[in-house]
């Protein structure tokens, strides 16, 4: 079932599908699929975390349109138009569920770490959510296999914290809180940094077990890293348009 990149870009492949079922139904189905890797990509900030999923529920405070999964920490605005996809990860053929606004690359993905692409679980997802096979060009445009630091590079902001200073205070940090806000979704994580590295303007942070991995562009105009207490830090990239859930 490998997708052949040598055939016509307009030819359908068997490694990418558009799902047509209701978004709340798919979100609540995640609790049956075991521990997965959630990746949220915001301009200048990406978070990958290993997590299980629970039920996504609405509250009065969210206006009944934002579903919150307390187990994974992911919030999803079902009032927005979001497309759902099921794709095979390019590296190891693990199934990946992705979300994106129509015509845009994926901003949230959920890699089903304990399932294989050729499994009955994937076949059931395609059948139940009426999966439509995509062409090879479309599956590549979605960017399911993109690196965590594949963003646009804005003009450097000279007012943000420097890389050396960021690395120094992260090495002293006992709890790092990371908050990511993307188009229609948001999520957060708390962990103790064990691995801190830098490559150019990209700050890379992970915990000891690599269950939480963060890549951030310190030169992004919205980059913020500040203390919450003596040993705690918060990392985010502020939306320069001023909206909360884009």
Residue 202 · residue 148 · CB < 8 Å: no
Whether the per-residue pLDDT at 167 is higher than 80: the answer is: yes
Provide CATH 3.40.1570.10 ranges for the chain: 12-142
Residue 76 · residue 67 · CB < 8 Å: yes
- Of 10-19, 80-89, 111-120, the range with the lowest mean pLDDT is 10-19
- CATH class of segment(s) 12-142: alpha beta
Mean pLDDT of all residues belonging to the chain? 87
Whether the per-residue pLDDT at 9 is higher than 60: the answer is: no
Residue 64, both tokens:
């009944």
- The confidence score (pLDDT) of residue 49 equals 97
> Exposed/middle/buried for 116, CB within 10 Å: 0-12, 13-18, 19+?
middle
- The confidence score (pLDDT) of residue 151 equals 78
- The confidence score (pLDDT) of residue 40 equals 95
Residue 180, both tokens:
């990511």
What is the architecture, at CATH level 2, of domain 163-237? Answer: Roll (2.30)
- Mean pLDDT of the 211-236 span: 94
Whether the per-residue pLDDT at 39 is higher than 90: the answer is: yes
Alpha helix positions (H), 120-205: 120-128, 136-142, 163-171
Cβ of 23: how many Cβ atoms within 10 Å?
20
- The confidence score (pLDDT) of residue 3 equals 44
Whether the per-residue pLDDT at 8 is higher than 50: the answer is: no
Residue bearing tokens 């901003």 = 107
Alpha helix positions (H), 80-200: 120-128, 136-142, 163-171
Instruction: Quote the pTM value.
Output: 0.88
Whether the per-residue pLDDT at 165 is higher than 50: the answer is: yes
Provide CATH 2.30.30 ranges for the chain: 163-237
Angle, CA 173 vertex, CA 171 and CA 175 arms, to 5°: 140
- Mean pLDDT of the 133-145 span: 78
The Cα–Cα gap between 131 and 122 comes to: 10
- The confidence score (pLDDT) of residue 12 equals 52
């Amino acid at each position: 079932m490998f997708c052949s990149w040598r055939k016509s870009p307009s030819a359908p492949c068997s490694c990418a599908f558009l799902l047509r079922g209701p978004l709340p139904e798919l979100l609540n189905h995640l609790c049956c699929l075991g521990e997965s890797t959630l990746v949220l990509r915001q301009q200048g900030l990406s978070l990958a975390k290993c997590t299980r999923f629970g039920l996504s529920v609405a509250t009065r405070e969210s206006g009944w349109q934002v579903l919150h999964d307390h187990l994974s920490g992911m919030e999803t605005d079902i009032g927005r138009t979001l497309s759902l996809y099921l794709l095979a990860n390019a590296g190891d053929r693990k199934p990946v569920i992705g979300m994106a606004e129509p015509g845009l690359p994926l901003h949230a993905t959920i890699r089903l770490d304990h399932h294989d692409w050729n499994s009955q679980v994937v076949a059931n997802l395609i059948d139940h959510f009426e999966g439509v096979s995509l062409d090879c060009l479309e599956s590549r445009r979605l960017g399911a296999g993109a690196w965590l630091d594949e963003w646009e590079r804005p003009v450097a902001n000279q007012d943000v914290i420097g890389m050396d200073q960021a690395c120094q205070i992260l090495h002293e940090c006992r709890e790092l809180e990371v908050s990511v806000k993307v188009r229609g979704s948001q999520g957060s994580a708390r962990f103790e940094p064990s691995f801190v590295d830098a490559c150019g303007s990209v700050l890379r942070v992970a915990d000891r077990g690599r269950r939480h991995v963060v890549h951030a562009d310190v030169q992004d105009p919205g980059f913020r890293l500040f203390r919450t207490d003596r040993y705690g830090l918060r990392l985010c990239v502020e939306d320069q348009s001023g909206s909360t859930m884009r």
